[in-house]
Amino acid sequence: MVMPQTVQHDFEKLRVTPVAGALGAEISGVDLAALDDAVFTEIYQAILDHQVIFFRDQKLTPEQYRAFGQRFGSLKKFPPELFTKIRGEADYVSGFDDVMMFHKTKDAKQNVGGRWHSDLEHTDAPPKFTILYGRQMPLSGGDTMFSNQYASFEALSDGMKEMLSKMRAEHTDVVFDEEILLQRLRDPNARPDYDASKRTNTTNYHPVVRTHQETKRKSLYVSNMYTTHFQDMTREESRDLLEYLFEHMARPEFTCRFRWDENSIAVWDNRCTQHYALNDYQGQERTMHRMTVEGDRPA
């Protein structure tokens, strides 16, 4: 049974419309290019309340987009070698090494983020927030799913909660190499530009149950994209429980779905959500700009 969320706040300066019972809210009546501190304070509280928030019709210059991101904290700068690790086409937005551009071409078969995950969770201090800006959208498809990991943890039995709260798990981006190897076994011509020998992998162990630094609520913190096994256990020993958790975390009653338009913006809390970029728009283009806000080591 899904436990109720904490009491949500009333807002004086925002119109906040929940999009699903589990998480997510659309914010209207706000121009992100002209925020004052009082409005931003309410936006920040709306994220803590709803885990992910959405804005539409926001026409921002790159400078204005970055300024909005910087209100949340220091933005993560992206090293060039990151672009050899991810699927799809990625680059900096010109002149901004803390704003990434993801462009899926008409002939691309893979997309970025096409499995449930929290952004950069394999790093030592994964980002607090991700801010994604829809710049060029397909006529249909390309939605993003979000899942409330407070709710997925709270729905577990007391015995499972107690056991998982004592465990840690490995998060690593080596899974990208393994996935591309499998692609090449099926198709020798897959990803001819990808050379795993030219990069190193990043691996960290994080708690399976994470405590949010601000809300103090507990959430599950493993993912189908990055988590390989539990600490002090083999992959084989870990497999069944991880597969159960991966399926449990994505139960429909924990999720919401966002239909993108051009100039839409989503902001989500990586500490208590997972997301999934749907890859259902082959033959169409999609361009997104992304910022991530520096975070803390999970505890």
Query: Are 292 and 117 in contact, with CB atoms under 8 Å apart?
Result: no
Catalytic annotation, pick one of 50, 210, 275, 289: 275
Catalytic annotation, pick one of 87, 117, 271, 286: 117
Catalytic annotation, pick one of 206, 286, 289, 290: 290
Pairing of strands 52-55, 25-28: parallel
Is 248 noted as a catalytic residue in this protein?
no
Is 275 noted as a catalytic residue in this protein?
yes
Q: What whole-number distance in Å separates Cα of residue 207 and Cα of residue 230? A: 10
Phi-psi region of 21 (alpha: psi -120 to 50; beta: other; left: phi over 0): alpha
75 DSSP assignment: B
Is 117 noted as a catalytic residue in this protein?
yes
Q: What whole-number distance in Å separates Cα of residue 7 and Cα of residue 26? A: 18
Q: What whole-number distance in Å separates Cα of residue 235 and Cα of residue 231? A: 10
Query: Are 284 and 109 in contact, with CB atoms under 8 Å apart?
Result: no
Q: What whole-number distance in Å separates Cα of residue 295 and Cα of residue 289? A: 19
* Sequence-ordered alpha helix ranges (H) in 128-204: 149-154, 158-164, 174-186
Catalytic annotation, pick one of 119, 171, 210, 289: 119
Is 290 noted as a catalytic residue in this protein?
yes
**Where in the sequence numbering do the catalytic residues fall?**
117, 119, 275, 290
